[in-house]
Amino acid sequence: MLLEVRSILVVLDPDHAHSKALTRAKLIAGVTKARLHLLMCDKKQDHSALLSLLASQLHDDGYDNVTYEQAWHDTLHESIIDVQKAEGCELVIKEHRPENALKKFLLTPSDWKLLRQCPCAVLMVKTERPWTGGVILAAVDVGNDDQEHRKLHASIIDHGYAIASVAKGNLHVISAHPSPMLSAADPVYQLKDTIEKKYRDECAAFQAEFDIADDRLHVAEGPADVLIPHTAKKYEAVVTVMGTVGRSGITGALIGNTAEVVLDSLECDVLVLKTEDQVKHLDELARG
């Protein structure tokens, strides 16, 4: 649970003095009393003086448990994950800056790799808007009710409620359902009416289980990577909580690409969660 973490890894950007990630980390640590571990990933420069200054300022501000280091291990995402594992951090907070379209086309963005491979929750910070009084949007796939997704849904909603409680905000939930497909093997997915009825029934059970009011649940037809940013913008969400289910035994592509695709298009912070099974699998791959 986000508000129960005891150790937070804060990734600082050597090219930007002001850190949105650190601002968010202070907010969360102010509630959880978690340790803040500051990380500067840069193989060229020495940032020990800056890190020492930041730690001193944090101590003066009442954050008693602050540590820091500089590290570089081949790539940015590998550097972050190595330190996260070594320090036992339960949450990574990093500012997200979109990469240019050509570079993204040619190379998998570093933040995408971090979301795929980091064996803990990752908060990608995109704005400095306060969370207080805002909408927290939880993105779930109600149509997927296997055990793995049920655990993930519970975690997403629990995190959403916890953030909404601390931020004195409101939790909203978005779930997308597919358009009719005449070629679908299951006749339910061949007609618009049968798809809508299936999702209405599933949503009723979901609402009862997680105590979601009708006006806080938004179900729409279409691709999730379009509907999630649209809904977040419509309700001016301050943070979107999403999850991913990893495929056991497959190296790479461990995350559904929805979280990656919406990362640039969302205009709010993004918290990406993983299941216990996926965390275990990522740890096994790392030890491999």
Nearest CA among 128, 104, 129, 124 for reference residue 114: 124
258, pLDDT greater than 70: yes
Helix 110-117, helix 258-265: angle, nearest 10: 140
Q: How far apart are CA 252 and CA 117, in angstroms?
A: 8
Q: How far apart are CA 121 and CA 156, in angstroms?
A: 11
73-125 pLDDT, tens per residue? 989 999 999 999 999 999 999 999 876 655 555 567 889 889 888 989 999 99
- Check residues 179 and 67 and name the one with the higher pLDDT: 67
Domain with CATH 3.40.50.12370 in the chain: 135-287
Question: Architecture of domain 135-287 in CATH?
Answer: 3-Layer(aba) Sandwich (3.40)
pTM equals 0.88
Domain with CATH 3.40.50.620 in the chain: 2-95
Question: Architecture of domain 2-95 in CATH?
Answer: 3-Layer(aba) Sandwich (3.40)
192-246 pLDDT, tens per residue? 667 677 777 888 888 999 999 999 999 887 888 899 999 999 999 999 999 876 4
Nearest CA among 227, 217, 240 for reference residue 142: 217
